[in-house]
Chains A and B, each alone.
Chain A
Amino acid sequence: MSTVKQYKCPSCSAGLKFNPTVQVWKCEYCFNEYDLEELEPNRAAEELPEEDIAELDSYRCSNCGADLLADDTTSATFCLYCKSPSIIKTRFSGRFKPKYVIPFKLSKETAKELYRSWIKKRRFAPTAFKQQEEIDKVTGLYAPYWLFDCKVNAMIAGEATRVSSYRQGDYRVIHTKYYSVERSGEMKYNMIPVDGSIKLNDQLMQLIEPYDYKDITDFSMKYMSGFMAERYDVESTDAANAMKKRVERYVEERLRATINGYNTTRITSKSVNFNEVVDNYAMLPVYILVNKYKGNSHTFIVNGQTGKVSGDTPIDRKKQVLFALGIFAATWIVAVFGGAFFV
């Protein structure tokens, strides 16, 4: 069995890519379109093995036979020589077999447009970040995500005060009543995403949330065709800890919101118990652009489904200082020569 999978156009045998705009596989050569059923009449033959397949030292493009350049975590890529979309099957098998996928909905062009308007607003971003060749580096990537379902039992307790005051002669009399408050409750959370890649910045990945789960579907490798994909390198137990921290915050906010009618509330103790934590491995779409500036990487990420953006850009000190001096000089000129009319 071949370890590298390539989807080919049934009509002309060219490499097939998933097209986010029309949500079908479209041949770029003969313009034929295929949906999931048409592309794979014999579904059973494509089933991914449930057991891990041993990793190979190198993978070859099944189209031209060249070595595929791939990191340890790269699961879908393009052949450097013939540009055929290539999927490394071993990296979607066994414990790396995703349960769900949200297919790309945004085209690469839209993602570039989003980056362009986003970087335009960052006046002090280095000029290199704004050049077309840089913008063209935007890449569609299926990012590995852990989606957690869990039930939570939680309690918070603290002290709250009610304050009233009135005037008595030359004095203001302040009357404070202290209460001990306690709340406990249960709630259920569904599909809390935690990115499963060490490479991807957790903060930026959280800022492109939420994904709309109405488009979530069972995983099929075919969606990977035409995009990059990574497999997870953060184990689900580690991801679960990150998820729990987040949920603890939500739970506290939720319970705290039920403490009403006080002037001050101070939480002194809390406990959060997790039950029925279920993890599901899923591939979620992002467009990503990594720029280097003075030895540091700066990442821009677009949610490949909703178009929500996040990213960090460095500040070009020279641009910043020049701008400040410009404003200073302009203000000075206006104040001196304009102001002289009014003194």
Chain B
Amino acid sequence: MYKRIAVVILIVLISFTISSLAHAQETDNIYDYLDYLSSDNILSLQGEIDRLKSKHGLDIAIVITDNTEGKSSRDYADDFYDYNGFGLDDQYSGLLLLINMDIREIWISTTGMAIRIFTDYRIDRTLDRVASYLSDGDYYMACSIFLSSVDAYAQEGVPKGQYNYDTETGQKDYYDKRPVTYTEKAVAMMKSPKVYIVAAALALFTTLMLSKSSKGKQTTNKLTYEQNGSFTLRNQRDQFIRQSTSQVMISSSSSSRGGGGGRSSTHRGSSGRSHGGGGRRF
């Protein structure tokens, strides 16, 4: 009962806060409480967000504030997302970029499918790019870089071997569900093209080996019919004619940068929903 009242009070408080800051520029998805973005910027970012929403099925929010109501960036970002009705589909898929000017920190909060797509590694990479513009004070570029990152990763989809790692319980939840029972494993093997390739290769190899029936072994050679000691070398001439020199560049092998693993760390927000994400100071 108290909990419910507390939630109601919180919602009232937040809506009050939002309405009290009514002068701030905002659209459906962009909450710029500090007026860092021009209205043109906001319009163009909102347009991009609308496009990505329908393209990838991910909700996107950008919040710029210096008042997190005493919450950590992570909690504020999670709550903002949950209590303002963001999220598409039944998993509330989407992500939120919080620029917390109070402690100069950015935070990306992911929910639903966005947790799957934005692994810890991808979040770090995105933060790298966004933070570099924030340090220069270019908020518009930071936001549009964020959106282009989202577009690119969402296009790539969930990476291979992705799993959600619950930081509280330590449980792993693979996106590609591994078969568990023997029957499931056997069915998975039946569907695996590798099994067919190996079987076909082995069948082909053994059949060819057994089909290759030689007509017989050659047991005569250049010496078989030569009379012993009859060979005499009459003339032997080795004459140097010319020489040539060439040089070849020795190519050094270059090492390629390895990509990160498939982990997406998750935690539970105050609403009870699971979120992923990450952040850093700038």
B:198-246 near A, CB below 8 Å: 198-200, 202-204, 206-207, 210-211, 213, 215-227, 230-246
Q: Are B220 and A209 in contact (CB under 8 A)?
A: yes
- B250 proximal to A (CB < 8 A): yes
On whether the beta carbons of A172 and B215 are closer than 8 Å, the reply is no
List of B residues within 8 angstroms of A315 by Cβ: 211, 213
Are A189 and B226 in contact, with the CB atoms below 8 A? yes
- Residue from B216, B246, B250 within 8 A of A311 (CB atoms): B216
B248 CB-CB contact with A under 8 Å = yes
Which of B30-38, B58-66, B120-128, B180-188 participates in binding chain A?
A: B180-188
Among B186, B231, B235, B243, the residue within 8 A (CB) of A177 is: B243
Complex: A6 Cα to B188 Cα, angstroms: 78
Are B215 and A204 closer than 8 Å at their CB atoms?
yes
| B249: Cβ under 8 A from any A Cβ | yes
Q: B256: CB under 8 A from chain A?
A: no
Q: Mark A106-124, 1 if CB is under 8 A from B, else 0.
A: 0000000000000001111
Q: Give A172 Cβ to nearest chain B Cβ, in Å.
A: 5
Asked if B196 is at the interface (CB within 8 A of a chain A CB), the reply is yes
Chain A residues within 8 Å of B199, by CB: 327-329, 331-332, 335
Q: How far is the CA of A123 from the CA of B208 in the complex (A)?
A: 11
Question: Closest chain B residue to A203 by CB distance?
Answer: B215
Known contacts being A123-B210, A187-B227, A336-B189, is A179 close to B215, with CB within 8 Å?
no
Known contacts A184-B235, A336-B190; decide if A312 and B248 are in contact (CB<8 Å): no
Main secondary structure of the interface of A (DSSP, over half): mixed
Shortest CB distance A270–B (Å): 14
Instruction: Tell me whether B195 is interfacial, beta carbon within 8 Å.
Output: yes
Which residues of chain B (169-191) have a CB below 8 Å from chain A? Answer: 179, 182, 185-186, 188-190
Contacts of A332 in B (CB 8 A): 195-196, 199
Q: Is A310 an interface residue when CB atoms closer than 8 A count as contact?
A: yes
Q: Cβ of B225 and Cβ of A328 under 8 Å apart?
A: no
Interface 9-mer from A19-27, A31-39, A82-90, A163-171: A163-171
A178 touches B232 (CB 8 A): no
Q: Is B247 an interface residue (CB 8 A)?
A: yes
Q: CB distance A173 to B240 under 8 Å?
A: no
A186 to B246, CA, bound (A): 40
Q: Is the Cβ of A186 less than 8 Å from the Cβ of B222?
A: no
* Docked CA distance A125–B238 (Å): 53
* Contact stretch, chosen from A51-59, A64-72, A137-145, A318-326: A318-326
CB pair B230–A187 under 8 Å, yes or no, is yes
Closest to B245 in A: A175
A186 x B234 contact (CB < 8 A): yes
Known contacts being A182-B236, A187-B231, A209-B220, is A310 close to B215, with CB within 8 Å? yes
- Taking a contact as CB atoms under 8 Å apart, the answer to whether B219 and A308 are in contact is yes
A325 to B206, CA, bound (A): 11
Contact call B195/A336, Cβ cutoff below 8 A: yes
List, in ascending order, chain A residues with CB within 8 A of B224's CB. Answer: 209-210
Query: Is the CB–CB distance between B216 and A336 below 8 Å?
Result: no
Nearest to A331 among chain B residues (CB) is B199
Contacts of B252 in A (CB 8 A): 170
Given A177-B243, A327-B206, A328-B200, does the pair A343, B218 have CB atoms closer than 8 Å?
no
User: Contact size class for B?
Assistant: 35 or more
Once bound together, how far apart are the Cα atoms of A70 and B52, in whole Å?
Answer: 94
Could you mark each residue 298-326 of chain A with 1 if its beta carbon is under 8 Å from any beta carbon of chain B, else 0? Answer: 00000000001111110100001001110
* Shortest Cβ distance from A243 into B: residue: B225
Q: Tell me if A207 and B226 are in contact (CB < 8 A).
A: no
Flag if B226 contacts A254 (CB, 8 Å): yes
Chain A residues contacting B230 (CB-CB under 8 Å) are 186-188
Cα A310 to Cα B214 in complex, Å, equals 9
Please determine whether A209 and B219 come into contact, CB atoms closer than 8 angstroms.
Answer: yes
Is A235's beta carbon under 8 Å from chain B?
no
A76 at the interface (CB under 8 A from B): no
* Chain B residues in 8 Å Cβ range of A335: 189, 195, 198-199
CB-CB under 8 A from B231, the residues of chain A are 185-187, 254
- Which residues of B have CB within 8 Å of A174? 245-248
Q: Are A181 and B185 touching (Cβ within 8 A)?
A: no
Interface set of B (CB-CB < 8 Å, partner A): 179, 182, 185-186, 188-190, 195-196, 198-200, 202-204, 206-207, 210-211, 213, 215-227, 230-250, 252
**16 pairs, CB–CB < 8 Å, chain A vs chain B:** A121-B213, A174-B246, A174-B248, A182-B236, A187-B230, A206-B220, A209-B219, A210-B224, A258-B233, A310-B215, A311-B216, A324-B203, A335-B195, A335-B198, A340-B182, A343-B188
Given contacts A180-B238, A249-B222, A312-B213, 16 further A-B contacts (CB under 8 A): A122-B213, A124-B213, A171-B249, A174-B248, A175-B244, A176-B244, A176-B246, A177-B242, A180-B239, A188-B226, A192-B225, A210-B225, A250-B226, A308-B216, A324-B207, A325-B203
**A residues at B contact (CB < 8 Å):** 121-125, 155, 159-160, 167-168, 170-192, 203-204, 206-210, 249-251, 253-255, 258, 308-313, 315, 320, 323-325, 327-329, 331-332, 335-337, 339-341, 343
Rank and list the top 4 A-B pairs by shortest CB-CB distance, nearest first.
Answer: A310-B216, A207-B216, A188-B230, A331-B199
